Chain A
Amino acid sequence: MKRIPRAAAIALALTLLLSLCGCGAADGKTHLTFQIWDVYQRDSMVAICDAYTAKNPDVVIDVQVTSWNEYWTKLEAAAESNTMPDIFWMHTNQILYYTEFGMLADVTNLYDDVDPSFYQEHFSEISIGNAQGFDGKMYGVPKDKDNIVLCYNKEMFDAAGVSYPDENWTWDDMVSASEKIHAATGKYGFMAYNDDQMGYWNFVYQAGGCILTEDKTRGGFDQEGTRKAMDFYIGMQKTDWCPDQTYFAETTPQTTFFSEGGAMFLEGNWNLWNDVTSFPDMQGKWDVARLPKCPDPVQGDGRATISNGLCYSTAAHGKNREAALDVIKFFGTEEAQTIASSYGAAISAYDGTEQAYFDAFAKEGYDLDLEVLKEQFEYGVQSVNNSARPKWKAPVLDELNKVYNGQQSFEAGMDNIQEIINTETAKKLANE
C-alpha cells in the first residue's frame, strides 16, 4: 500500500516536469520573442510581425512590452546570462556599451544578397549613425527617426495678440511671446524644464556649442556656445512666465500644456500621436512649429534639433540568431517600414516611407503642421552619446539640479559638469 502513493507522486512530478519541457515548441514552429518599451507602438510592431509571419507561417513572434527603465535593467541581466530576447529595440544611449562587449549581432552585411549598399541608399546618415557600434559597424537595422518640435497653444497666442511661431522665430521672439502671453492670460509661456534630449541639448547646438566634442572624448561645457545656451535655458526658470524646477518635479510640461496652463513646450514627435489621441478636447487649439533659432550663435546658422532613432537588434550569440536575423532583415525593408509608419507612432527610418506617418494623422482628422518635422530633419543633430554616458548621465543631472535650485553657481556648475564628463570618459577609454 505504501508504494502506491510514492509511485503516484513520482508520476505526478514527472508529468509536471514534462509539461514544463512542453512549453518549448510543441507545434514544431520557431517561437521568437520581440521586446520593446513603448506601449503606444505595440500595434505597429504586431502589424509588421504579422506581415512577416504571413510569409513565414512556421515562425511565431511574441511582442512583449516592458517599461523604459525596467527594459534596460532586464536586458543587461539577460545579456549577462545569454538569454536576451530574440529581437529587441536598441537605443543610442546604450548601443555603444552593448557593442563594446560584443553583445549584439553584426548586421553590416545583412543585405549583401539584395544590395551591398542597402543602408547607404535607403537610410539617412543620422539613422545609420544611430545604429552603429563603437567600431562603426552596423549592429541594428534602423527603425525610425525623430526630432524635437515646439508645441504651442494657438488660443493663448491669439489672446495675447502674438503671431504664431514661423520659420524666422528666434529665442528672443519666444521670450517676448512668453512675456506677452503671461501678461495677457496669466498662464505660463515657454516651459523650459530640466531635460536633455527634449530640452537644453537643442539650445546648445543651436547656439553653436556642443555637449560632447566631435571625437566624443571630451565634454563641450567649457565652450562659449554651450555656456551661452545653458545660461539662457536655465535662466528662463527665473522669469515669471516659466515655472521652476520644483513645479516640474510634480507636474510635467506636457500635463501643464494639455490642461491649458502653459503656452509652449518641446515635444518629441514620437509622443505626438499619443498627445492627439489622449487629449481630444485640445483638438484644433494647438499646433507644432520648428524650434526657434538662436539669434546670435557662436557658429552656424542658429538652427538645430536633436534627432534620434532606434534600431532592431538581435543578440550576438542568441539561440535563434539566424531566424531573428531574417526577421529584422524584413523589418528593414520598405514594406515593413511603411506599415510601421502608418500607425502614426513613429516616423520610419527608410527614406520614402515617412508619408505614411503624416497620412495617419490626416486620416483621423488631426490637423497639425507636421511638415515642420520633414524640414527639421535637414538640420537635425545626432543624439549625443559616448560609451561613458551611462556613467556621467546621473552625476550631470545632480549637478544641474544644484544649479537650478541655487546650491551651485552657474560657472562652477558648468565647470563641474565638464569635469564629470571628461573624467568618466577618460576612465572608460583607459579600460578599453
Chain B
Amino acid sequence: MNKGAKLSAAAKREQNWAYIMVAPTIIGLIVLNLWPFVQTLYTSFCEHLGFGHYKFVGLQNYIDVFQRPEFWRATWNTIYFCILTVPLGLFLSLLVAMLLNAKIKGKGAFRTIFFLPMVCAPAAVTMVWRWIFNGEYGILNQAMGTHVGWITDPNVVMIACAVVAIWSNIGYDAVLLLAGLQNISKSYYEAASIDGANKVTQFFHITLPMVSPTLFVVMIMRLMASVKVYDLIYMMVEDTNPAVTSVQSLMYLFYRESFVAGSRGSGSAIVIWTVLLIGAVTIIQFVGQKKWVNYDV
C-alpha cells in the first residue's frame, strides 16, 4: 500500500512535468492555430466595416460568395490545379527517388541538384520561370519556335503554373520517398531475383507496396498544399493579366477579397469553404488508403 501510494505520487509529479513540457507547444497551437481558426469562423458570419469593426450578418457572406461566378471558377481552378500537379508530381518524385536510390556515380550531386529548388525562394523561382515563359522574348518560345502566351493565354496558363509547381516540389517529395525506399530490406529483392522476377514485377510487388505508407503521407501533404496554392500563382499572374480569372485559385481569391477589397467577411467564408474542401478530400483519401496502402511488415 505504502509503496503504491508513493509511486502514484511520483507518477503524478511526472505527469505534471509532462504537461509542463508539452505546454509551450499546446499553448502555441491554441494561440497560433486554434484561436485564429475560431476567429475566422466567426468573421465569416460578419461584415468587416474597417479596422476591426465587425457587424454580424449571419449567412449573408456565404450567400453572396456562392452566387458569384468567379468563386466557382476559383474552386474549379483549384481542383484543376490539384489534378494537374498531384498525380504527375508524385509519379515523377517516385521516379527520381528510385533513380537516386540506384547505384550511380555522383549520387550526392544529383540529390543536391534535385533538392535545390526547395531551397530557393519561391519569389526568385517564379521570377526566373516568368522570363522563361515570356510570350515575346521567353527562351521557351525561342527554343521551340512557337508563339504561345504561356502565362497570358487563358487556356495554357494553368499548365504553365502546374509545371512550375511540379518542378519546385519534386526534390522535397523525392527525398521523403527516398527515405521510404531505403527502409526496404535488400533481402526481398534478392529473394525475388532468385525466383526469377524481373525489375518491373519487383517494382509492383515489392517497391510499391513497401513504400506505400510514405507515398500516402506525401500524397496527403501534397494535395493539401495544392488546394492551398497561392504564392506561386500570385507571383506568376498579376491582376492586370487578362488570364487571371482562368488561374485564380481559392486562396488567391481570398487574398484579393480580404486584403485588396477589404471584405474580410467574404474572404473568411472562402477560407472556411477551402477548409471543408480539404477535409472532404482528406477523408476520401483515408477511406481509399485501405485499398492500396500496406502497413504490414
Contacts and interface: CB of A to CB of B under 8 A. Distances in A.
Contacts of B237: 249
Interface string B241-273: 111110000000000100111110000000000
Interface string A238-268: 0000000111111100000000000000000
Contact of B260 (A251, A390, A401): A390
Contact of A391 (B52, B135, B262): B262
Nearest to B238: A249
A80 interface: yes
Main secondary structure of the interface of B (DSSP, over half): loop
Interface in A70-85: 73, 76, 79-80
A394 B266 CA distance: 14
A405 interface: yes
B4 interface: no
Interface stretch (A96-104, A148-156, A220-228, A357-365): A96-104
A250 B55 CA distance: 41
B259 to A, nearest CB: 5
A100 B50 contact: yes
Contact of B152 (A246, A390, A431): A246
A404 interface: yes
A194 interface: yes
A404 B154 CA distance: 13
B53 A249 contact: no
Interface in A362-394: 390-391, 393-394
Contact of A404 (B53, B242, B245, B263): B242
Given A194-B240, A249-B151, A390-B262, A103 B51 contact: yes
A404 B260 CA distance: 22
Contacts of A415: none
Contacts of A73: 259
Given A76-B51, A100-B50, A250 B240 contact: no
Given A101-B51, A249-B242, A401-B240, A395 B134 contact: no
Contact of B135 (A101, A247, A394): A247
A410 to B, nearest CB: 15
A43 interface: no
B239 interface: yes
A249 B130 contact: no
Contact of A394 (B149, B238, B256): B256
Contacts of A431: 49, 55
A395 to B, nearest CB: 7
A135 B163 CA distance: 52
Nearest to A101: B51
B260 A398 contact: no
A161 B243 CA distance: 38
Main secondary structure of the interface of A (DSSP, over half): helix
Contacts of A184: none
Contacts of A397: 239-240
Contact of B134 (A79, A251, A405): A251
Nearest to A81: B52
A245 B261 contact: no
B142 to A, nearest CB: 14
A431 B259 CA distance: 20
A103 B241 CA distance: 34
A245 B242 contact: yes
A250 B50 contact: no
A103 B153 CA distance: 43
B261 A395 contact: yes
A79 B51 contact: yes
A103 B53 CA distance: 13
A335 B135 CA distance: 50
B239 A101 contact: no
Contacts of B261: 390-391, 393-395
- The list of the 5 closest CB pairs from A to B, nearest first, reads A246-B152, A249-B241, A405-B242, A80-B52, A101-B51
Interface of B: 49-53, 55, 70, 130, 134-137, 149, 151-154, 237-245, 256, 259-263
Interface of A: 73, 76, 79-80, 97, 100-101, 103, 193-195, 245-251, 390-391, 393-395, 397-398, 401, 404-405, 431
9 contacts: A73-B259, A195-B240, A246-B153, A246-B242, A247-B152, A391-B263, A394-B261, A401-B242, A401-B244
Given A101-B51, A246-B243, A247-B152, 18 more contacts: A80-B51, A80-B52, A100-B50, A193-B240, A194-B240, A245-B240, A247-B136, A248-B240, A249-B238, A249-B243, A250-B134, A251-B137, A390-B261, A391-B263, A397-B239, A401-B245, A431-B49, A431-B55
